[in-house]
Structure formats: structure tokens, C-alpha cells
Structure 1
Amino acid sequence: MNYLKFSLFVCLFISLSLIAQTKKISLEEIWSGAFRTESMDVLHSMKDGQHYSVFNFDRTIPATMVDIYDYKTLSKIETLVSSKDIQEINYFTDYSFSGDESKLLLATEEEQIYRHSSRGVYYVYDLSTKTVQKVSDEKIQEPTFSPDGTKIAFELNNNLYIKDLISGELKQFTFDGEKNKIINGISDWVYEEEFAVVRMFHWNSDGDKIAFIRFDETDVPEFSMDIYGKELYPQQQVFKYPKAGEKNSKVSLHLYDLKEDQLTDIKVVKACQDFYIPRIKWTNRSDILSAQYMNRHQNELDLWFLDTAKNTSTLVLSETDKAYIDITDNLTFLNDSSFLWTSEKDGFNHIYHYSKKGDLINQVTKGNWEVTEYYGYDEDNNTVFYQSTENGSINRDVYSVKLNGRNKKRLSKSEGTNSADFSADFTYFINTYSSASTPTEYTLNSASSGNLIKPILDNDVLVEKLSEYGTSKKEFSTINVNGNDLNMWMIKPVDFDPSKVYPLLMFQYSGPGSQQVSNSWFSYNDYWFQYLAQKGYVIACVDGRGTGFKGAEFKKVTYLNLVKYETEDQISAGKKLGALPFIDADRIGIWGWSYGGHMSTNCLLKGNDVFKMAIAVAPVTSWRFYDTIYTERFMRTPQENPDGYDDNSPFNYPELLKGDYLLIHGSGDDNVHVQHTMRMVEALIQADKQFEWAIYPDKNHGIYGGNTRLHLYRKMTNFLDKTLGDKLNQLQKEDRKVESKLKG
């Protein structure tokens, strides 16, 4: 009797344990932030090299604050500023220090404009007097301290201003700014989106000159979007958007001299008048400005040094490429005026050291791997710090190397994705680490050895929570497709049985230089994939030709033919995966967003014997509709390469649709306009093809806000269940019948 009770107890315990381990992820949990990882926000290393600041939010008060921590002890030293102590501010959302760290610039009432840009109301907080000073009563863009912290330059209504923080005087020094015509010191839409830059004005080291770029958008064609809102009549948003082959802004470089109160033009001798100036940066000398110029094809990049005192220009470095050159922010000037520069000129992205005249001193890093981040140069120890893929293209590690390229050290210890934030004196670095099986961890490490000093923050609570759900392992491998070993991951159901067959959903993005197969922690999509795996799907992702971090040749093979080879690789990968004994070749689907939406659409049409369904979110459907900088970088202009534009635009062959297709777009997408979807819809209608589609009113390229993401992913899930899940549901029912008979 006692033995029977014990046996029943054990069985009950095991049953409860199994139930606990198979708890199901829900869409509501994913999009409510239930699996959010803890992080360190707006980390800033203080000038003394011994302390760092972090942006924190106390929900109990509520208040936002900037807290100071000690590197050695990791203990909080003080709260530098808290919104609860400032009567004029309810809370702030971002902060930055003046050069001498005596003042803080606090952002409030921020509103997003486009992907990187925002405007807001800003206050200067004086750390010595504990007082605040409002920069402007109006919402402004990109306020920036002068080097001595006594002034702030900013943009308002397309013009540039300087606020003197001592006298309170406000000085406007450009006057021709006008919406959709002239922009001073702030990038236009296409520079912001494709060169990832907003602020285009910069103080020199003496704080007596400001260099800035002026955009003349007058001849750029306009694009308009209806904003439906909640009023009786919709509003219209009109902005300048140069589509491939159309006119760009005319850009020019200018200088404002504060002492002379004078504006001057800065010119270089360029044979071509249709060019970009993607980056400007002052050198260590207060009168020498560097500027990078690119031709419109973006296969020529020139680095100029501009002497603003003598008004002369010198071409220091020039690079060319058969395809294109990517822009980076890795230009670093050393004390002797030599500089570090990154380039793909040997076939992989590496660090180079040049003299101040542009003569090559040496190549600092070498090998068939990529430098993926440049962290800085320690003058005292003659050491360069960087991140690379030397430990495999799906991994990231932190390294140090001497300026002469010798004595290289791997500083990060764990395989996965490592990134570093170094103290100002390069004594320490905070390592951010994650892998496909380990959520983000923050540790303090020695910059000389990489050795762990102390853990800072982990996500063990999240690990414990996820253990209740029995999530599936992300399995990494390679798949040989079209003569290339392509990186791949696969997620299988927790109760995977190799004797059964499962529907397959393939996910990809595939854009030039991108990567989806990486050994890093979950994104929101990963949680959705875990949710789908719990429902009985197999999910796979393959990074095909054209994706990044495997060398320039692999990446640039798609030049002039975007999505051609990428589509071929996904179709071939689908065929190969469909031949696996546990994959139902009649139930293979593919989905993607943006570039990935273009790909999933193309794959369904051109691979209609492989893919039975596709979901395309915010897809490009013709490169003719996309912007100049991105599209022409990879395709040249439509006038030069019409077949490259049209042969892979899916609305040119809608008759190929055989499977199930779901098309989704936000009507307020300023990036990939809803025009892409409307043209695809019209083509399918005229081809008499049935499909499903959804438009999210006023939502941009990210399609989020309120209940939107939950609604979107529920719609996609329902579509999957209806198209790929019919047979899956039938198999599950048959399995349950067999299990019931066995139990009986």
C-alpha cells in the first residue's frame, strides 16, 4: 500500500514536471514584453577612465536618472541627475555630456521623424549649480555642445543656430532653410536612411568654427502619403524622395567662423558634379577638416583634407571598386596626424594605417575574415581594439592588436556574439555577450588580457522563466547550395520525432551585407519561431549569396542583379530541405520583411514547385520605386541597367503565382512605400490570381504601435495554420488516435 502511494506520487510528480516543461508560449506574451532581456542603457565611459554612467528608469517614483558607477567595484557611486529633482522636467529620455563633463544635455518630449531622426525639447543641466537651462522653446534637432561646453549648436526649421549658455544669446547663422527645398546641417531623407547619418554639422576642436553640409532638394521629386489619423479629413505628408535614376539633392560644404561671424564655401576640384558627401570630420588640427566624397555609382571614394585657414584642399586617399564601396565611421586620427581607416580592398574588411599624407604605413589586420567593429586606439600602449569574425562568420569576438599588426589577442572568451564598450583610458571594457543558448550578459573585463574582473548583469531570471516552456535549440550548420556552403540554422519541435514529417517555414532577409544566421540571443521573431515550433512546425533560415561577413566576393556577386542569385539560393535550399525525411515537401513556406518580403514573393513565383505559400511584409516589388543611394549602389541606374531592375520585379510576372500568398504593408511607410504593394496587388488582380492582403493604417516600415504587432503576428500565424497547417493538424489528430488506442 505504501509502495503504491509512493508510485502514484512519483508519477504525479513526473507528470507535473512534464507539464511545467511544456508550457506554451503565447503571442500575447511575446508582444507584451514578457521575455524582454535586461540591458544597460546609454552607457558612457567617464573621462577619468574609472567610472561610467548609465541611463536608468525607476518605475516606482517614476523618474529617469543618470547614475554613476565605479569600474573596479561596479557599485553605484551617485545619481548624477534625476528628473524628480528638476521641477521643469517630468522625465527625460536621453542624455549626453559636455566635453568637460560639467554639463548634461537632457532630451524631453522627443518625437520620431524618420528612422534615425527625432526632434525634442532640450535642457542643459549644470552639475555644479544643479540648475537647468532650456535650449529652445521650440522642438529642435541634434543639439550639440561646443568643445568647451559654453555653447550649443542646433537645427530649427532647416536652419542652424548657436545658443550661448553663459549670456543666453541665440545666434542664427543660416537663413535660407525651407521645407522641401533647403536643409542646413541635417541630412535629407535618403542620406539619413542609407548613410545612417542625421547631424551634418560639426564643431572644430577650438570651438570657433562649424563645418556643415547644405542640401538643396529643390529638384528632387516629391512623394506624398495620406495620413488617415482620426479627423474628418486625412492629412497629406509630402517629402522629397529621390527614386532610382531621379535627381538627388545638390550637396555643398560650408564653414561658419564664429569669431568673424562669416560663412564661406568649401570646395574641392571634382570632375563629376553628381556626388555624395556621406561623412565630414575634423582632424586633430582645428583648421583641417576631412571630407569623404563618393561618385553617384558609389564605386569611388575620395578622402580630402581641407585647410579652412588657407581655403585649400588636398586629396589624401582614393579607393575604387568594380562593384561598390561601403561607408563606415572608422576614420580615426592619431596624435601624429596619421590615421586609421577600414577597407575591403584585399577582399575582406580590415584596418589600415596611413600617414597624414595618405601613404600606406601598414595593414593592421589581415586574414580571410572581417573586422566588424572598430573600438578605438590606445595611444599609450600603441594598441588597436576591434571586433571580428575570425572565430567564424556567425560569431563575434573582441580583439586587440599592436599598431604594427603584431601581438594580436582574443580578449573575449565565450563563443557567440561579443561586443565591447571600453573605458576612456582603455583599462577596462564592458563585454556584452550572448549566444543562441545564452541571453545577454554584461561583464567587466581587463582590456590588456580580456580576463573577467566581475559580472555586472545577467538574464538568469529569463533563463529560469524560459525553462518552464521547453524551448527548442537553434541548430547551426551549413548547407551546400549552388556550389556554396551557406550558413543555416534550424529550429525543430521540442518533441521532434525523426520518423514523422513536419511542415517547413523558411525565414530570410537576404539583403546585401546582411546576416540572419548569427550565434546570438533571441529576437522577437525567434520567440515567434519557438511558438511555431511548439505548434509542430520546423523553421529554417539560410543566408544565401549576397549576405555579409564572408568576404567581398561572396557579398558582391549580386551586383547589378539584386534578388536573382538570392532567389535561386532560397529555392535550391528549399528543395534540399524538402528532401529530408522529416520534412513534408508539399508543405514548405517562406516569409520575410522588406528586402525579405521581396525575396519571399519572388521565391513563391519563381519557385512555385517548391514553395506552397509565402508571406511578404512591407516588400519591395520593383527597385525602380526605391531610393537612389541604396538601389544604385547595387544596381546602377534604371537607365543603365533596365533588365536588372525588371527581370526580378514580381509584379512583372504575377501569372506565376500558384500557392497561397499573404501581402502586408503599412500605409505610412516612408521607406518602402505602399505603392510597392498596390502595384503588386493590381498585377495579381489583372492576372486573376487569388491572394490575401492587409494594410495597417498610418504604420511605418516597422508596423508597430499599440496592438499592431500582436495583430500582425496573429494574422500571419493564422495564415500559416490555414495553408501549411492543414496536413499538420490532420497528422496530429491521427497521432492522438494512435496514442488513444495504445492507452486503451
Structure 2
Amino acid sequence: MTISKYIAFLCLLVTTLCTAQNKSITLDDIWSNGTFRQERLDALHSMKNGKEYSVLNFDRKNGSTTIDIYDYKTLEKVKTLVSSLNLEDIKFFTDYKFSDDESQVLLATNQESIFRRSTLANYYVLDTKTGMLTSVSNEKIQEPTFSPDGQKVAYGLNNNLYVKDLISGNTTQFTKDGIKNKIINGITDWVYEEEFGFVRAFEWNANSDKIAFIRFDETNVPEFSMDVYGKNLYQTQTVFKYPKAGEANAIVSLYVYDFKENKTNEVKVNKDYKDFYIPRIKWTNNPDVLSAQFSNRHQNELDLWMINTNKNKAILAVEERDKAYVDVTDNLTFLEDNSFIWTSEKDGFNHIYHYTKDGELINQVTKGNWEVTNYYGLDVKTNKIYYQSVENGSINRDVYSINLNGTNKQRLTKNTGTNNADFSADFTYFINTFSSATTPPVYTLNSAANGNVIKKIKDNEKLAETVSQYSLSQKEFSTIHVNGNDLNMWVIKPANFDVNKKYPLLMYQYSGPGSQQVTNRWNSSNDYWYQMLAQKGYIVACVDGRGTGLKGADFKKITQKELGKFEVEDQIEAAKLLGQRNYIDASRIGIWGWSYGGFMSSNALLKGNDVFKMAIAVAPVTSWRFYDSIYTERYMTTPQENASGYDDNSPINHVDKLKGDFLLIHGTGDDNVHVQNTMRMVEALIQADKQFEWMIYPDKNHGIYGGNTRKHLYTKMTNFIDRTLGDKLEAN
């Protein structure tokens, strides 16, 4: 059976066989029993030889983990490189990283989360040839990273940076001024981690003799505290630096530690930045030249500098400017001649550009009214670039190749849906992960030359068979014309949908800048919940309004300085239009969302009080004055500059408009959107004499999970929906 026929078979199981079944989804199926668990390839790594790849495998029976090596061509397991059963000091490990020559591997165990992306763990270096296991530190550390020559490991500990010499066994501490809530070396502060999306703020150069790092002085950043209730007689408190919009940020500076001289020098550029960010640093292939991206506080100016760390001389290579904001790129890639790949939306859509090492534009590689969504790399043998884009429709993802000079573009993936690639080191193969709204994830080995499927690696046929036992409805994709724009939309109707009946409607959205919820991919946990609601007799819909992503910069950036204005207008108007359909009961329309989506659902209920009967807001921002500086100011500038933009569209200032049913939900341990948002909203509602419901989850973070928490949360929301929208539901 060809892969296309196989995918069609999986689709058939889901979309046709399921209609013959009538099993109902329960919250236990979604949150407790693992009924819809997917098969995955975890921690996939392409080996340097280009012929093999490694995967992290878990054995639930004996609680062990292995790193297994597979052959690309045959897909057969070649060997088990590492098994925790053979390691005296490690019962199991949860992550691994190879040295450049793959003769050593870092193993993480006893991991514990700090914030969303940051963790502490015990780390060991395993010599794969001798089997010798070496502890990197007796303490839990952050972000250990091999030097390119594999002889050292650098890491963060207690706000300072250390290097362990794997040959001598000696450890050197090369920063000494790190102090909690004051000075951090080489590890990002809270707001950088959350909004610039990285934790490790140090980088080795190519020769393994220098480390560049960012230093954060957060002395003057205001502190935020959270009570941790725990199980003891007295609660404790977590105190951390959190710059809210308009408040003081950490002062950042750039340093290079030179191993040969045992000396640390500050690195400066030829521009007098007053209040700025350094969102990315990366060494070029020249071991003396460091690249650094500098952004002004408004984030509408982004400069890429090339810094000669020997001469402390900097060249401004690229200047990005925008009336709204410039997104930080993760795709900066230096080629063998130190020319570089850069992605930018300066022509209105995100595309790939090729520059000389000094920043002269060689050519724009990709062009068109569509977005590049991922850059995979360049095959130096063929001069082909591999990337992912939405050229085949903004709700889909495909993998493409194109020559470095912008010619001979080729679509490599054949099936319409979401395709994600992981290329072999020599770009001979790629492992493609495909899914769609009707097909659970399928992993295949593909030829990078033409995209043809060589062999299926792993499928979710068992999941497809499980899903086929339930009475599910197809997710219907379309567009809806709202406020002059064709907005992407999906709708889930009851399986026994009758056009002559009237159904209540629940709308879901997120709506944050550049986000996307209407995508052609397999079910998330929420999708199963929507199917459960459809089984009860609800219609569920999602509309991506103005401000969301992958439809060009103008569409995305229209919300600048007015977050919550156009997005809310679109949700209200979409609800009105849907309510005009003869099968939707316009008197029973609700809306819900989480985080930015909670901000939106709150606003929609208040500003659209003649349209929405109810709303649920989970972990919502209720005033942008309460949220962090980097995210909020990127879209709003500061509250000192744009007070009306902050206040006119914040739910906390519109509580007097509440007419419908409102459920507020928050975790007290939310370090991201602080429970302060809900507490201040609650007080405003009380003083406005408005009745509402709310639920607080003790010590739970922004994700509100752990133990029975998720099931409890979704039971609470389901009951609220049934009580407020489901009063006329017929038995289904």
C-alpha cells in the first residue's frame, strides 16, 4: 500500500467508520485514561554521518530510558547507544545532547521546572566508547553545553557561569558577581525567557576558546511575589523580578570570556543605545567574530551586528525597521564563507534572504504573498535551501526546496495538511510528520531530492481505530467575511446535525498577535472536548480574526497600539453572522479563551453584551498594565505613551457592561499572567454590583495542570456551559 493510500485509509477510519459508531467521549477519556494518546518520535536527532538517527525511547514497564540508533535507509534499529538500565547513577534520563563528534552525550535526570522553558537538573557526561559516566556537577545546574571540541562543558549555576574540563576534571567559575534577583550571567531573566523564547544566553565560539554571554543587571526591576500555599502550616513566598509594561527592565550587556587569557571583556557596538534588548547572540564561523541582535525598547528597530572580539570592532550588517514591530528571527545561519541566511517580513510577508558576511544583500530567496514558517537549512553540495511555508493555504504547512539563488522551487510534501520535516545531517533524507484534521500523525522517511516517501516509520493506526469507535464530527474549514476580511474558520457540528434544528454555539479563540488556531492538523486535547460538546448538541466554532498570523504583516499588525479592539470587533461580528444561520440559536452564543483568549472572551462578553450570553475566561489578562514589558510594549508601546490604548480595551474598565453569565478561572501560582489580573477584575465586578462565578486553583501555574486538575477544570467549564447555553438541548 502506498503512503498516499495508507493516509487515505487512516482518514477513512476516522471520517467514515466513526459515523457507524456512537460511543461518547468523556472527560476521563481526554484527561485521565490516555485514550487518545499519540505515538511519537521523541528527541529525534540526526547523526553526523547522515545515515542514522537517534530517538529517546521510554519503557513504561521498567521505568527505563534508552537512546536508540536507527538506520535511515532500512529504518531498522542499529543499536541501543545508551540504556539507563546499565547506568549505576541514573535510574532514567529525560533528555540528551551529543557532543559535536558524537563521542559523548549529556544526560539529564531529576529535572525540575523553574519557569516555562527553564529547568534545573543533574547532568552526566557519558563517553559512548568507554562507557565512562562523569557527573558535571554535584548540584542541579542549567543549560550545560559541550564545547565544539568536546573537551569542556559550560553551564549556569546560581546566576554564574562555570566550565568543567572533561580531561582534567577541573571546574572553573568565570563569573563571580551573580546574585539572585540582582545579577544573572549567561541565563536569561524571566521576561527574556518568556517573550524572546530562550534560556541559554551564552555561546561557545568555533575554536572552543571563547564564550560570549549576556549579563542581566535586574537590580532596579520591580519584584513580584506569589504565595505558595503548599501543605505546611504556613505558606511560603516566591519573589522574582518581573518588569511590567512601562517599568524598569534589566540592563543588559555583552561579554566575552577568553580561556587563553583567562579574562572577561565587555563587548560594545558603535551605537549609543539608551534602553535596549539583546534578544540573540551567535558566533559566526570565524572564531573571533560574534553576531548580536540589538533591539530598541519599542522593538520597531532591530540591528544585526558583526563584532570582532579581538579588536572590539563592530560592523552593522542589517538594519530592520517597521512602523509597528520587528520580529526576532531564529533563522540566522552562517554559511561556509560566512555569508548568512536571514528571514524577514520587510516585503510584507516572512521570507528568506541571503546576505554577504558584511550585510550586503545578495538576493531574496523566496517571494510571494505567503509566509515562510520554518527554515531547515542549506545543502552545501547542491546549494538547495529547505524550508516550510503556507504557500498551499494559510491553514496548511508544506516542505519545499529552492536553490540558494531563488530558482527551481519544489514542493516536496504531497499531502494537504500539516507537514513538519527533520532532515538528515547530509540532507539526503528527511523524516516527515504529517497530520490533518482527519489523519492522525504519520511519520515517514522521505527523499530530500524529490520528497518521495521511501518508507513509513511510525503511524497512529491504533489511535485511528480508537477514534473510529466514537461518534465524531468532521471539523469543517471555511472562511467567513467579517469587517471586510475573509477570516479562516472551523466549525464542529453534532454528528446527527439537523439543519432544521436550532443549536447553541460556543466560540473558541486565542487571537493574540501572529497566532493561529484555525489549522489543518490532528486533534489537540481541546478538540476532543469540542467533540464531546458536539455530542451533547452544541456547535463549536473558531475564527482567526485580524491580528492573527500567516496572512501577511498588514493583517497581523493592524492591532498595533490597540490590542483588543479589532480582534474583539471581529469576534462579535462573526458571532452575529453565525447567529443569522437558521440552525444556530442567536440567543445562546457563548465564547471562551485562555490567556490572551481569556482577555478576548472577557471583552467580547462585555462589549458584545447583546450578542454573547456567556463567557469563560481562563488565566486572562484583564489590563495590559499588569503584563510584562517585552510582550506588551512590542504591540502597545508603554502605558506612559499610550494610556488610552491600554485602558480603552481592557476588560477591567468595562465591567459595568456585564449582562451575561461570566466564569473567571485562574491559578494562584501563575508567574506569567498573574492572578492579580483576576483579583482586580473580581473587585471591579463586585464594586459594579455584577454577579459572576469564579474558580481559583491553588499553586497552579499558567497551564493549570497536575494530578486531577485538568479534569476538574474542564468539568467546571462543561457544567457552566450546560447551565448557561444548554437549557434547551435535546437528548443526542
Normalization by structure 1: what TM-score? 0.95
1:534-549 alignment runs, 5 A limit:
534-549=535-550
**Partner residue, 2:51:** 50
Cα deviation for residue 620 of structure 1 reads 0.2
**Which letter maps to 1:27?**
L
Partners of 1:50 and 1:284 lie apart in 2 by 25
1:518-667 alignment runs, 5 A limit:
518-667=519-668
Change (3 A) 1:18 1:30: closer
**Which letter maps to 1:672?**
V
Task: Give deviations 1:685-733, integer Å, cap 9, x for gaps.
Answer: 00111000000000000000000000000000000000000122xx44x
Partners of 2:264 and 2:19 lie apart in 1 by 72
Cα deviation for residue 621 of structure 1 reads 0.3
SS at structure 1 position matched to 2:570: helix
Partners of 2:157 and 2:469 lie apart in 1 by 52
SS at structure 1 position matched to 2:377: strand
Partners of 2:608 and 2:20 lie apart in 1 by 41
**Partner residue, 1:10:** none
Partners of 2:109 and 2:647 lie apart in 1 by 46
**Partner residue, 1:276:** 277
Matched, 1:432 2:413: no
Partners of 2:260 and 2:285 lie apart in 1 by 20
**Which letter maps to 1:107?**
A
Change (3 A) 1:491 1:19: closer
Q: Is the 8 A contact 2:19 2:472 kept in 1?
A: no
**Which letter maps to 2:331?**
N
Cα deviation for residue 470 of structure 1 reads 1.9
Cα deviation for residue 62 of structure 1 reads 2.6
**Partner residue, 2:719:** 718
**Partner residue, 1:152:** 153
Task: Give deviations 1:22-72, integer Å, cap 9, x for gaps.
Answer: 000000110022101110000000000000000001122231000000000
Matched, 1:236 2:260: no
Percentage identity across paired residues of the two chains? 70
1:329-368 alignment runs, 5 A limit:
329-368=330-369
Partners of 2:127 and 2:253 lie apart in 1 by 36
**Which letter maps to 1:545?**
R
RMSD: 1.0
**Which letter maps to 2:515?**
S
SS at structure 2 position matched to 1:376: strand
Q: Is the 8 A contact 2:420 2:433 kept in 1?
A: yes
**Partner residue, 1:398:** 399
Change (3 A) 1:486 1:19: closer
**Which letter maps to 2:681?**
M
Cα deviation for residue 18 of structure 1 reads 9.7
**Which letter maps to 2:666?**
H
Cα deviation for residue 413 of structure 1 reads 0.5
1:42-121 alignment runs, 5 A limit:
42-121=43-122
Change (3 A) 1:558 1:133: same
Cα deviation for residue 311 of structure 1 reads 1.4
**Which letter maps to 2:220?**
D
1:473-552 alignment runs, 5 A limit:
473-552=474-553
Partners of 1:18 and 1:356 lie apart in 2 by 56
**Which letter maps to 1:263?**
T
Cα deviation for residue 271 of structure 1 reads 2.7
Task: Give deviations 1:406-453, integer Å, cap 9, x for gaps.
Answer: 000000010000010000000000001000000111000000100010
Cα deviation for residue 20 of structure 1 reads 6.9
SS at structure 2 position matched to 1:190: helix
Partners of 1:385 and 1:605 lie apart in 2 by 46
SS at structure 1 position matched to 2:446: strand
Cα deviation for residue 310 of structure 1 reads 1.3
Cα deviation for residue 651 of structure 1 reads 1.2
**Which letter maps to 2:509?**
Q
Cα deviation for residue 177 of structure 1 reads 0.1
Task: Give deviations 1:294-320, integer Å, cap 9, x for gaps.
Answer: 000000000000001111111111110
**Which letter maps to 2:330?**
D
Task: Give deviations 1:247-295, integer Å, cap 9, x for gaps.
Answer: 0000000010111110101011223320000000000100000000000
**Which letter maps to 1:85?**
N
Change (3 A) 1:19 1:248: closer
1:193-272 alignment runs, 5 A limit:
193-272=194-273
Partners of 2:63 and 2:727 lie apart in 1 by 49
Partners of 2:592 and 2:53 lie apart in 1 by 42
**Partner residue, 2:6:** none
Q: Is the 8 A contact 2:18 2:468 kept in 1?
A: no
Cα deviation for residue 19 of structure 1 reads 10
Q: Is the 8 A contact 2:122 2:138 kept in 1?
A: yes
Partners of 2:327 and 2:457 lie apart in 1 by 35
Task: Give deviations 1:618-673, integer Å, cap 9, x for gaps.
Answer: 00000000000000000000000000000011111211000000000000000000
Could you tell which deviates more after superposition, 548-557 or 270-279? 270-279
**Structure 1: which 4+ aligned runs deviate by more than 2 Å?**
17-20, 269-272
**Partner residue, 1:183:** 184
Partners of 2:19 and 2:126 lie apart in 1 by 54
**Partner residue, 1:30:** 30
Matched, 1:422 2:423: yes
Partners of 1:437 and 1:68 lie apart in 2 by 31
Task: Give deviations 1:514-548, integer Å, cap 9, x for gaps.
Answer: 00000000001001000000011000000000000
**Which letter maps to 2:184?**
I
Q: Is the 8 A contact 2:502 2:584 kept in 1?
A: yes
Q: How many residues align?
A: 715
Normalization by structure 2: what TM-score? 0.97
Task: Give deviations 1:365-396, integer Å, cap 9, x for gaps.
Answer: 00000000000011110010000000000000
Q: Is the 8 A contact 2:594 2:620 kept in 1?
A: yes
Cα deviation for residue 575 of structure 1 reads 0.2
| Structure 1: 5+ residue stretches without partners | 1-16, 737-744
Matched, 1:672 2:680: no
Partners of 1:138 and 1:110 lie apart in 2 by 12
**Partner residue, 1:12:** none
SS at structure 2 position matched to 1:25: coil
**Which letter maps to 2:25?**
I
**Which letter maps to 1:22?**
N
Cα deviation for residue 602 of structure 1 reads 0.2
**Partner residue, 1:21:** 21
**Which letter maps to 2:321?**
T
**Partner residue, 1:325:** 326
Partners of 1:653 and 1:196 lie apart in 2 by 33
**Partner residue, 2:13:** none
**Which letter maps to 1:566?**
E
Partners of 1:666 and 1:615 lie apart in 2 by 15
Partners of 2:92 and 2:20 lie apart in 1 by 41
SS at structure 2 position matched to 1:143: strand
Relative contact order higher in (CA < 8 Å, ≥ 6 apart): 2
SS at structure 1 position matched to 2:43: strand
**Which letter maps to 1:161?**
Y
**Partner residue, 1:7:** none
Matched, 1:168 2:163: no
Task: Give deviations 1:69-92, integer Å, cap 9, x for gaps.
Answer: 000000000000000000111100
**Which letter maps to 1:478?**
T
Change (3 A) 1:365 1:136: same
Q: Is the 8 A contact 2:438 2:522 kept in 1?
A: yes
Could you tell which deviates more after superposition, 348-357 or 267-276? 267-276
Matched, 1:458 2:459: yes
**Partner residue, 1:14:** none
Partners of 1:466 and 1:338 lie apart in 2 by 49
